[in-house]
């Protein structure tokens, strides 16, 4: 069990690791809290609240000061993964292997706090926690778990997740990357193909790559270790000049007969079940995370509206058109937080279905984006300055709405679940 | 304690009146249920689910068959109040006085089931349960409670709530109805003034009328009994030709030196705290109720889309533009139900603030209306026929969005709570 | 040539039937006119403005006083067609046959003025002018024109247009009504089938019915004369309890071996070209008409907002959230009027394409409906009273958005025109 | 008269400078053109169309190749102004002084073509053409016109417009920059204050600065020449790290007793009439320009949707949800172009009011932004790459919506014009 996040909350609540009755913490207060309008915190355990506090403190003190430069210059500091690992934020809902074994809600609250600073930082963490660590934990051999999970959990290794290809975004069933058995060396596969829009790929030590096994035509998962790839078989060039998520690092994975040992292949899982399980874990983190970005935008817009005077010295906050934008944003943040919390609880009680995740990923991203754009208007011309942070959230959230299932794709997944008829044509 | 709703659920779950662990009921199932996409039912106790079942059964079997005629002809059957009383649906969260003493969530689920049939029927019930019964229960003398609550609970008496005046809709602080002491008869007040848009007024036996006490200028509550008003002092003409809520009955209360005994005045409460407490209770019911109307609309639109074939025999349900409308509606219904449930739970644990109610009343009404209008498009030309019910929900929900705090008014209440600045000018 | 509308404008501008330079009329004025914010009137000729004045005067003086009762009771006075005929408003852009021979813009302005009062009245007129009269004028034999057009133009005959069937709304290519040659009587067809949602059918003397000719399987147009149909072969029951357009009369056309003489069949036109030509004419009228309903709603909302005082005696008009709704509505009314005018001019210069009509029908209906719903909110609870007229416009415009091509259908027509790919699946 | 744009169109249409009958050019064609769905080109003269062609050719051949680098690196090449000047694109609607003397529509079409490439390039041009040149032309002395206009028209001089201050964005009446008479040198003023968000300021030779004259408290316009300002009296630092309009250059104007000769002050105009006249000219250009950015986005999204295959090889263009976005965008582009054209025509016939400009500036910016955001979704994850250009348009258009009157401000200007009541509080 990772000690760090527990240490943090234990200093708050020594001697107890059991959830307390929801609401105890704020029992005496019945005043309206615009930062938590529907009192979602009443639904969290002491442990979850302590983990959230730990994450928030780290994010505000250590991440926020780096984000302007990181975003301007498209630079991601790989030490961030190390720092997160030391705090126990990575793979936080995994049991064992040095992970915290916290609830899914706790993992969600970590994502929310990181994305309160920047969606790119949350993306880098999600790839590590939800995509590769969850993949190994769910589908890996015991040897794979023992070898990779502790090092990914403490941040010594950086990982990534290679599914999307240049010609196949919303339709991963058509991927073209191929894995064939080595013509001479038994127990080895050769991977060829290209993956794109892969967060962390240029700095990754280990990559979970999904490829079609030549012999079966089925999609399988491979753990590609950079250190074991001969020159010319693996390239991970960065993609620059992005419109959003510029504080994260994104790249391609180009493989040309890249050798991978058979023991690095996931043993059983075939087809899309493997990648979709990982993606669903990440998407739930996004549903929480997007609410963090929205809440930060609301807070900044509120401050600006109170500070900025126009027309006879009135603060912008006095204008009805401004107040409506703030009210809308607070409402959608509150609703989205409740919904993500509910789905996380259902996951932990084995009542989750993938459509629930489609619903909260889609809605929370859509509403976050819509509201953050409306809040951006409050800043007027000053919105163009990156020092107000709002433009960054807007640009980030567009990408967040789009990746891991664009909004319309999730609408059609839901439509299919509602009607029993599919409309992908 | 009212026996009826308990009897109903006891037949389902004999021997237990304690909440069971959430989720138990659906523990084995993890399939997606489009009628409850985020599994809100996991948050309800057995008792609450049983009450919901009782209410649903009554509404579908007894109310649905009457609604077309009632709406077409603007006729409301006062027996409905009696039937609801017999089932224990009235004032269900009140303890004692023949009321069920159920949770606020249970009351909300009753409202949802009634409004699944028709917002007008829910309005008629809300007036009885939330406006007048809550008013008496919270602010009445013991004698008033003993005299009125049991008869209102069992539906022998019909009540209404007189606050809104012709010139004062969103701004009740300016009401003009006046109560002066009788010039000669001690212990009697004479009320004069007009109230409008009063649900149930033409059929009410007792009316909770808010008036300014002449001697203090403060707003006070009076229980006006029709049977005790001499001819010419009280008129309650119906308002006809409404655009919505036509299955409910609405009227005015016109008082001309209408005599009310001093013991019918609420003893302590002064100003807007009295009416606002009642309204907040009703508004929370509306937040639940609107989700019922939305869910019914979704269900009907889904059925229509599956049954109706266009272009090469494909059902409408196969079209992306149709599926998106269904997905949006299901999402907003699920989110709104979770939010209303959370606020109801907070109420029962004394953590409620009025702004929370503004938030869920506003958002649930807005989203219900927006989605129901989009669903209406699925019906094409057939939407014009009242037999598809969808046009009725649309017309009703516009009124529901407007009454008890129009959406913009609640936005400004929230804006004030968020910023500390008021924008009513 | 019909004299009436010309008489009206001649009294304004004797001796000239030529367009004058646009703008002359308002040359000296450069003040903002909220009723015509982008000065569309500058684009109209004197003749067109005079015709609009004539139509407006009739509509405000003769139609407006009837509309409340007509809508409440679903009663349509067939004298309205007669009155419109006497004024020259019917088939106004047809040359000869007692029609006015005015421009397409003039016809559009007539539709706008009628729909300023009620979309149902405009529907009744559109059916006469655009659907049946245009059909006969474009596709009829000389004998058919001579026999029917003058009597339809002066309103002695009422006509209707039978295309939509119960199972085929958006997809008229699949209609099932059949016309077979009479087994014994040469020169006679027997029509069987059912048409639904047919405006004017219960009061029609002559019906343009589209049916598949049994011998060819091609759609052909037939002029069915009620007076010549033996008992039991033709029924036109009214459809009651509509949600909108209640001031118009709507019904079915049920034909059971209904005999029609061969000379009543359109001679050449086959397939969907015939009905689509008529529908396109009507749709352009709708694009104008919807702007009339929107402008009336704006005017009424503005008046209400100025008259209604809330909070310290301020008129609603002083509130930002109110002003934004008014500004949005005025903008969309101005834009939609310009676009409809442009398309009408293109029609008269033979540069029209059907997609243009899809664009303005769709956009003007969508924007009218959206804005009228927003304006409805200004009226608060009073919106529920039909005496404010706003609820009627809302209900009407939903139907108008839906009929003659639901908004989504026109979106897909446009999408196909833009991409060259069709998406009806 | 500037020769260049005339030369260009003369080569197309020698011997005629008179408008031809609208429509002649496309007379034979009645096929739908998705790039001009409502045939706005029918409203333009040959001269206007030729000017548009000239501008489009320059923009596509010379500006488009520079924009990616310019936007990435926030670099603006001042040679662009020189090139535009040589072509006659600057101050094109001014008569004399080396300007083209074209119509306001022609100026608008130039703006549209430039913004089709980039809103920042259009901004740089607008500042030169509409803000400073219009200012001098309308309000300058003859000597000022003779001295500055020809050099601004040919691009030898670069100008800018200093109105907005750090504390006064939407409320220019409160500006703090002060001009006082020199204590000793007669005929000289000393300007002190700071202007911010000034397009072109770092590269400007001459700046039109609005300041309050100390002696009267009235706002006056001053032409500040950089070459005549001693060191330390004028600084124009660039503002870096903008979220949008990165291909334009923006900065501050910091003046500290900056000396300006009295003959560089506008002679008569006082108060806000001066700057507002300039702004209105620029805003009309924005209304055209935004449609250019929208049309380019539509064209790129359409191409992407046709090229990109997903799910069984279908192009994205086949999906209904994609087609709806394209149809919406085409519609708003067509409507906005018609409206801007109408207002430009009204300006040239002296029938313009400022509210008309508020309407088209606001609506065209709002609709452009909304649609471009929807189109961005079509690109999926690839939208994050700047090589698809769509993200750039989105970021630019947000700024364009905000500057020169944020959307809400124009809504309140319109609201005031509609109701006669002002709501700025």
The enclosing H or E element of C348 equals helix C320-348
A contacts of D245 (beta carbons < 8 Å): 384
Q: Is residue D365 part of a domain?
A: yes
Q: Which among D312, D323, D333, D375 is the top mutation candidate for probing chain C, defined by the most C β-carbons within 10 Å of its own β-carbon?
A: D323
Nearest to C241 by CA among B248, B75, B72: B72
- Buried-exposed string D16-54: b where 16+ CB fall within 10 A, e elsewhere: eeeeeebbebeeeeeebebebbbbbbbbbbbbbbbbbbb
- The answer on pLDDT for C149 being more than 80 is yes
Q: Hey, are the CB atoms on A241 and D386 less than 8 Å from each other?
A: yes
Contact A397, A365 (CB under 8 A): yes
Are residues C149 and C279 part of one domain? no
Nearest to A199 by CA among A138, A279, A287, A137: A279
Q: Hey, are the CB atoms on A321 and C321 less than 8 Å from each other?
A: yes
- The answer on pLDDT for D26 being more than 70 is no
ipTM of the complex model: 0.93
pLDDT at residue number B272: 92
Mean pLDDT lowest for which of B303-307, B322-326, D164-168, D397-401? D164-168
Q: What angle do CA C125, C131, C133 make, to 5 degrees?
A: 85
Q: Considering only alpha carbons, which residue of chain B is nearest residue A415?
A: B323
Instruction: Tell me which of A200, A235, A270 is where a domain ends.
Output: A270
Q: CA B359, CA B356: separation in Å to the nearest integer?
A: 5
Instruction: Name every residue whose Cβ is closer than 8 Å to that of residue C272 and which is 6 or more positions away in sequence.
Output: C172, C173, C219
Are residues A151 and A122 part of one domain? yes
What CATH number corresponds to the domain at position B145? 1.10.540.10
Instruction: Tell me which of B270, B287, B305 is where a domain ends.
Output: B270
D contacts of A70 (beta carbons < 8 Å): none
Q: CA A127, CA A119: separation in Å to the nearest integer?
A: 12
Q: Which among D163, D164, D247, D380 is the top mutation candidate for probing chain A, defined by the most A β-carbons within 10 Å of its own β-carbon?
A: D380
Nearest to C314 by CA among B425, B409, A312, A320: B425
Q: Considering only alpha carbons, which residue of chain B is nearest residue A315?
A: B421
Nearest to A225 by CA among A278, A257, A261, A180: A261
CB-nearest partner of B242 from C171, C385, C394: C385
- The answer on pLDDT for C311 being more than 90 is no
Mean pLDDT lowest for which of A412-421, B9-18, C203-212, D325-334? B9-18
A contacts of C325 (beta carbons < 8 Å): none
Average pLDDT taken over every residue of chain D: 92
Q: What is the pLDDT of residues D54-71, one digit of tens each?
A: 999 999 999 999 999 999
C contacts of B377 (beta carbons < 8 Å): 401-402, 406-408
Instruction: Tell me which of D270, D301, D330 is where a domain ends.
Output: D270
Q: Is residue B143 part of a domain?
A: yes
Nearest to A382 by CA among A303, A294, A324: A303
Nearest 10 degrees: CA dihedral of D154, D159, D163, D165? 150
Q: Is residue C322 part of a domain?
A: yes
Q: What is the pLDDT of residues A2-48, one digit of tens each?
A: 546 654 443 444 334 444 333 333 333 589 999 999 999 999 999 99
Segment C318-333 shows an average pLDDT of 97
Chain A touched by B31 (CB under 8 Å): yes
pLDDT band at B6 (very low <50, low <70, confident <90, very high): low
- Which stretches of A79-200 are DSSP H helices? 79-87, 104-117, 119-126, 134-139, 142-153
In chain D, how many domains are there?
3
Q: Is C35 helix (H, G, I), strand (E, B) or coil?
A: coil
Are residues D275 and D410 part of one domain? yes
- The answer on pLDDT for A81 being more than 70 is yes
pLDDT at residue number A167: 85
Q: How many residues does chain C have?
A: 425
Nearest CA to CA, how far is D252 from chain C (Å)? 32
CB-nearest partner of B244 from C318, C384, C403: C384
Nearest CA to CA, how far is C293 from chain B (Å)? 17
Q: Is residue D14 part of a domain?
A: no
For the whole model, what pTM was predicted?
0.94
pLDDT at residue number D35: 98
Q: Is D212 helix (H, G, I), strand (E, B) or coil?
A: strand
A contacts of C319 (beta carbons < 8 Å): 320
Contact C288, C126 (CB under 8 A): no
Chain A touched by C319 (CB under 8 Å): yes
pLDDT band at C312 (very low <50, low <70, confident <90, very high): confident
Q: Is residue B193 part of a domain?
A: yes
Nearest CA to CA, how far is B142 from chain C (Å)? 35
- The answer on pLDDT for B41 being more than 80 is yes
All chains having 3 or more CB pairs closer than 8 angstroms to chain C:
A, B, D
CB-nearest partner of D402 from A243, A380, A411: A380
Are residues B275 and B215 part of one domain? no
A contacts of C425 (beta carbons < 8 Å): 425
Chain D touched by A71 (CB under 8 Å): no
D contacts of B320 (beta carbons < 8 Å): 319-321
Are residues A393 and A311 part of one domain? yes
Are residues A347 and A309 part of one domain? yes
What CATH number corresponds to the domain at position A241? 2.40.110.10
What percent of chain D has pLDDT above 70?
93
Q: CA D94, CA D2: separation in Å to the nearest integer?
A: 10
pLDDT band at C313 (very low <50, low <70, confident <90, very high): confident
Are residues B281 and B256 part of one domain? no
More confident residue, C149 or A2: C149
The enclosing H or E element of D408 equals helix D407-419
In the structure encoding, which two tokens stand for residue B244, read together? 């919505």
CB-nearest partner of B314 from C244, C321, C425: C425
- The answer on pLDDT for A110 being more than 90 is yes
Chain D touched by A73 (CB under 8 Å): no
Are residues C183 and C144 part of one domain? no
Chain D touched by B310 (CB under 8 Å): no
Are residues D174 and D277 part of one domain? no
Are residues D316 and D384 part of one domain? yes
pLDDT at residue number B311: 72
Q: Is C230 helix (H, G, I), strand (E, B) or coil?
A: coil
Are residues D412 and D278 part of one domain? yes
Q: CA C198, CA C208: separation in Å to the nearest integer?
A: 11
CB-nearest partner of D381 from A197, A241, A321: A197
Instruction: Name every residue whose Cβ is closer than 8 Å to that of residue D292 and which is 6 or more positions away in sequence.
Output: D111, D112, D113, D114, D115, D116, D117, D122
Contact A255, A198 (CB under 8 A): no
Q: Hey, are the CB atoms on C38 and D346 less than 8 Å from each other?
A: yes
Nearest to D206 by CA among D172, D138, D269, D253: D253
Q: Which among A318, A321, A323 is the top mutation candidate for probing chain C, defined by the most C β-carbons within 10 Å of its own β-carbon?
A: A321
Please state whether beta strands C206-213 and C178-181 pair in parallel, antiparallel, or not at all (unpaired): parallel
CB-nearest partner of B170 from C310, C412, C425: C310
Chain C touched by D306 (CB under 8 Å): yes
Nearest CA to CA, how far is D320 from chain B (Å)? 6
Chain D touched by C26 (CB under 8 Å): yes
Q: Hey, are the CB atoms on A321 and C320 less than 8 Å from each other?
A: yes
More confident residue, A424 or B175: B175
CB-nearest partner of D243 from A384, A407, A424: A384
Q: CA A421, CA A416: separation in Å to the nearest integer?
A: 5
Instruction: Name every residue whose Cβ is closer than 8 Å to that of residue D17 and which is 6 or more positions away in sequence.
Output: D6, D47
Segment A353-375 shows an average pLDDT of 98
Q: CA B130, CA C403: separation in Å to the nearest integer?
A: 42
C-alpha neighbours within 13 Å on the C-beta side of residue C208: 33
Q: Is residue A107 part of a domain?
A: yes
Nearest CA to CA, how far is B183 from chain D (Å)? 46
Q: What is the pLDDT of residues A64-77, one digit of tens each?
A: 999 999 999 999 99
In the structure encoding, which two tokens stand for residue B326, read together? 């269904």
Are residues C252 and C140 part of one domain? no
Q: Is residue D8 part of a domain?
A: no
Q: CA D408, CA C327: separation in Å to the nearest integer?
A: 10
Contact A47, A17 (CB under 8 A): yes
Q: Hey, are the CB atoms on B309 and C380 less than 8 Å from each other?
A: no
Nearest CA to CA, how far is D217 from chain C (Å)? 29
Q: Is residue C5 part of a domain?
A: no
B contacts of D324 (beta carbons < 8 Å): 321
Q: What angle do CA B86, B87, B92 make, to 5 degrees?
A: 105
Q: CA A307, CA A379: separation in Å to the nearest integer?
A: 11
Residue C279's domain spans which residues? 271-417
For A121, A123, A125, D356, the CA distances from A248, given in Å and listed in that order, are: 6, 7, 10, 45
Chain D touched by B321 (CB under 8 Å): yes
Q: CA B41, CA B27: separation in Å to the nearest integer?
A: 11
Chain D touched by A394 (CB under 8 Å): yes
The enclosing H or E element of B279 equals helix B273-307
Please state whether beta strands A234-235 and A178-181 pair in parallel, antiparallel, or not at all (unpaired): unpaired
Residues of B with catalytic roles: 404
DSSP string, A219-253: EEEEEEEGGGSPTTSEE-PBP-SBSS-TTS-EEEE
- The answer on pLDDT for C15 being more than 80 is no
Nearest CA to CA, how far is A365 from chain D (Å)? 13
């Amino acid at each position: 069990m990772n000690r760090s996040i527990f240490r943090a909350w234990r200093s708050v609540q020594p001697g107890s690791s059991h959830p307390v009755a929801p609401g105890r913490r704020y029992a005496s207060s019945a005043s309206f809290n615009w930062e938590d309008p529907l009192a979602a915190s009443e639904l969290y355990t002491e442990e979850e609240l302590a983990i959230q506090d730990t994450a928030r403190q780290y994010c505000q003190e250590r991440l926020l000061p780096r984000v302007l430069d990181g975003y301007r210059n498209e630079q991601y500091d790989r030490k961030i993964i190390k720092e997160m690992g030391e705090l126990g934020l990575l793979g936080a809902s995994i049991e064992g292997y040095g992970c915290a074994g916290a609830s899914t809600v706790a993992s969600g609250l970590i994502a929310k706090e990181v994305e309160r600073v920047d969606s790119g930082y949350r993306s880098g963490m999600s790839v590590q926690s939800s995509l590769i660590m969850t993949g190994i934990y769910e589908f890996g051999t015991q040897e794979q778990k023992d070898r990779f999970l502790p090092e990914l959990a403490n941040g010594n290794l950086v990982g990534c997740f290679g599914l999307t290809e240049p010609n196949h975004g919303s339709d991963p069933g058509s991927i073209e990357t191929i894995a064939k058995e080595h013509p001479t060396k038994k127990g080895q596969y050769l991977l060829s193909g290209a993956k794109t829009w892969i967060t962390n790929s240029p700095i990754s030590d280990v990559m979970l790559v999904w490829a079609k096994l030549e012999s079966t035509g089925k999609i399988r998962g491979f753990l590609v270790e950079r250190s074991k790839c001969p020159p010319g078989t693996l390239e991970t060039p960065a993609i620059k000049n992005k419109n959003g998520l510029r504080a994260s690092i994104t790249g391609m994975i180009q493989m040309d007969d890249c050798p991978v040992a058979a023991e690095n292949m996931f043993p059983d899982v075939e087809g899309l079940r493997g990648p979709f399980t990982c993606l669903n874990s990440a998407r739930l983190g996004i549903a929480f995370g997007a609410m963090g970005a929205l809440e930060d935008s609301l807070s900044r817009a509120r401050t600006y509206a109170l500070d900025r005077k126009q027309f006879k010295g009135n603060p912008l906050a006095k204008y009805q058109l401004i107040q409506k934008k703030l009210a809308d944003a607070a409402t959608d943040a509150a609703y989205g937080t409740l919904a993500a919390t509910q789905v996380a609880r259902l996951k932990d009680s084995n009542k989750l279905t993938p459509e629930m995740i489609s619903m909260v990923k889609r809605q929370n991203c859509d509403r976050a984006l819509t509201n953050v754009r409306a809040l951006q208007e409050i800043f007027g011309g000053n919105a163009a300055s990156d020092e107000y942070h709002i433009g960054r959230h807007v640009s980030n959230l567009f990408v967040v709405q789009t990746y891991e299932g664009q909004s319309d794709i999730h609408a059609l997944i839901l439509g299919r679940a509602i009607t029993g008829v599919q409309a992908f044509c």
